[in-house]
Amino acid sequence: MQGALKGVKVLDLSRVLAGPLGTMLLADLGAEVVRVEQPGGSDDIRHWWPFAGEESTYYLSANRNKKSITLNLKSERGRSLFEDMVQKADVVVENFKAGTLARLGLSYEHLTSINSKIILCSVTGYGQDGPYHKQPGYDPVIQAVAGLMDVTGEADGEATRVGTPVVDIMTSHYVCISILAALRSRDESGKGQHIDLSLLDVQVSSLANIASSYLMNGHVSKRAGNAHGNITPYETFLCRDKPLMIAAGNDRMFAALCNVIGQESLAEDPRFRTNADRIAHRGELRAILESVFKTERADAWAEKLAANQVPCGPVNNIEQVFQHDQVKHRDMVVEHSHSSLGMYKGVRNPILSDGNALDVNSAPPTLGEHTTSFLSEWFNFDQKTIDDLKKEGII
């Protein structure tokens, strides 16, 4: 799998997260991904706090293994240069508002007239058509509109967004998956295609059992905090120092839990014998378990429960995550030299192939870091030509 996409050229016009994370996955797999931004920068994520030196840590999270060039697509010369790039490329990824690329004179129809094999992946909040297609779509807005917030949060509290931009992250995976499928299709047909990815569509599709329960049964799921609506105990319990997540998904696990905490009789109590019984008496069971779990630290309970095959884990903060023995064992942190920071640290791609992680060949690039080398390599431009383009504000 290492370098599986070697030779695939991707022009990345996308900004912020869903698009850049998707193209980073392609870059991790060996594709040559070239970020294209306006001179001076056009990606808001570069300005998002906190910073390492002058680099946004948010930006650093989504752009390793890429090149960065600047190009003024609002100028005739800049568009002409981009068209020359399209002739040599396999994929273009963009996440402008629907219709923006066409207004720049770079519609899919125009791109295919230049390169019939080009694959265009367009990422928007609501898709390329429909009554909402012109509205901007940001992750928390889509979490709200597409139902995720309504089922997240305490039962008696307000709807709550997920702590990470999960819609952007899920969409980035579909960016990668759809482009891989389009490349495979092109191998057979010789033709490219236009991929229309919507954050709204991705979030609605991710509702999984919540959607199925409504579509097949008319059931409208409600917020339940950290509890599971259909299984218990499947929730957090406060221990002496911090919360512990318990996921006792069947009767055997519940019996094992009861044995560990010294409450063996609970497993035979008519109120708690089956999951249906436990759901019916959820409040009574929770009160009993809470009183027991408060007597020890979360890590101590987790060790005992795990030894008896009860799924559980303490609620760790981010510092504790990277101190976790298994996270360290799996070498989840990668490092690479960085042109301005000295050293870049990030989270590795989770894929292991034959026991090997995917390479980090380069740290996230600074703005326009590769403009000169890219134009020299792709078009054999000499330094005078490059200097003239800079003077004209094209790059």
Q: Report whether 245 contacts 239 (CB < 8 A).
A: no
Query: For tokens 């050229």, what's the residue?
Result: 9
Alpha carbon distance, N-terminus to C-terminus of the chain: 35
**Per annotation, catalytic residue among 168, 325, 354, 359:** 168
Specify the length of the chain in residues.
395
Structure tokens at 172: 């980035």
Asked if 168 is an active-site residue, the reply is yes
Instruction: Mention every residue, 6+ apart, whose C-beta is less than 8 A from residue 262.
Output: 292
The number of CA neighbours under 13 Å toward the Cβ of 49 is 0
* 373 vs 107: CA distance, rounded Å: 28
Strand partners, 3: none
Torsions phi, psi for 37 (to 5 deg)? -125, 160
Specify the amino acid at residue 156.
D
Q: Report whether 41 contacts 366 (CB < 8 A).
A: no
Instruction: Mention every residue, 6+ apart, whose C-beta is less than 8 A from residue 40.
Output: 70
The sheet carrying 312-314 orders its strands as 234-238, 243-247, 312-314
Would you name the residues annotated as active-site residues? 168
